[in-house]
């Protein structure tokens, strides 16, 4: 743990080479009492980050979700309002952060915020590019009938930064109305 960066998420099972799960959990509990680590949620711990305004703060939901995905050997992708926020299409920070996954569906409460993993089809997880994956999910969240010209222009601009091979692959996996928007990023 001393070598880990602040904000890194870990689980009792990460330390079972040093003892059984129960003794590892007890050791983590003691470290929590000594304020060397923070308990983020049941069975999830992190080395707290330091904020000049708030003091000790826990890891963000994205780091926690990535940690759970690593532990479960599952793939995850952000969806909904969270995907819109990551792309800069929305300034709202959602109270419920939703990820699509091929792992176990679950809901984890982190303080007052919810981290939700929803089971999805393999097709939704087959995209290659990080930007194009977010774009597909954000556009689906906004919806065909609600999307504005400004949002389309912003998505096209962002998609131009994506690896062209990844973009070409991911266009095939998007719904038709989303494909039309994505194709504008490859048009010369």
Predicted confidence band of residue 151 (pLDDT cuts 50, 70, 90): very high
Question: Is pLDDT above 90 for 104?
Answer: yes
pLDDT in tens, 22-54: 898 899 999 999 988 889 888 889 888 776 666
Q: Does the residue 4 lie in any domain?
A: no
Q: Does the residue 25 lie in any domain?
A: yes
Q: Does the residue 39 lie in any domain?
A: yes
What pLDDT score does 113 carry? 86
Domain with 134, as residue range(s), is 124-183
Judgement on whether residues 96 and 142 belong to the same structural domain of the protein: no
pLDDT in tens, 83-98: 999 999 998 888 899 9
For the chain, the DSSP string reads: -TTSPTT-EEEGGGGGGGS-HHHHHHHHHHHHHTTSSEEEETTEEEPPEEETTTEEEPPPHHHHHHHHHHHHT--EEEEHHHHHHHHTS-----SEEEEEESS--EEEEETTEEEEEEE--GGGG----HHHHHHHHHHHHH-TTT--HHHHHHHHHHHTTS-HHHHHHHHTTS-HHHHHHHHTTT--
What pLDDT score does 52 carry? 65
Judgement on whether residues 154 and 166 belong to the same structural domain of the protein: yes
Judgement on whether residues 95 and 114 belong to the same structural domain of the protein: yes
Judgement on whether residues 30 and 78 belong to the same structural domain of the protein: no
pTM for the model: 0.85
Closest CA to 121 of 97, 147, 102: 102
Quote the crossing angle between the two packed helices 149-159 and 130-142, to the nearest 10°. Answer: 170
Q: Does the residue 68 lie in any domain?
A: no
What pLDDT score does 53 carry? 64
């Amino acid at each position: 743990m001393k070598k880990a960066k602040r904000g890194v998420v870990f689980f009792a099972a990460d330390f079972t080479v040093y003892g059984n799960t129960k003794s590892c959990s007890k050791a983590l509990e003691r470290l929590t009492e000594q304020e060397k680590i923070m308990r983020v949620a049941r069975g999830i711990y992190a080395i707290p980050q330091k904020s000049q305004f708030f003091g000790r703060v826990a890891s963000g939901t994205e780091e926690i979700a990535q940690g759970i995905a690593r532990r479960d050997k599952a793939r995850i992708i952000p969806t909904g309002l969270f995907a819109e926020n990551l792309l800069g299409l929305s300034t709202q920070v959602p109270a419920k952060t939703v990820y699509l996954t091929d792992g176990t569906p679950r809901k984890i409460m982190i303080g007052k915020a919810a981290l939700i993993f929803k089971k999805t089809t393999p097709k939704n997880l087959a995209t290659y590019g990080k930007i194009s994956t977010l774009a597909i999910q954000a556009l689906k969240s906004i919806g065909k009938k609600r999307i504005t010209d400004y949002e389309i222009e912003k998505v096209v601009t962002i998609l131009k930064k994506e690896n062209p091979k990844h973009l070409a692959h991911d266009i095939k996996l998007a719904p038709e109305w989303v494909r039309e928007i994505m194709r504008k990023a490859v048009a010369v």
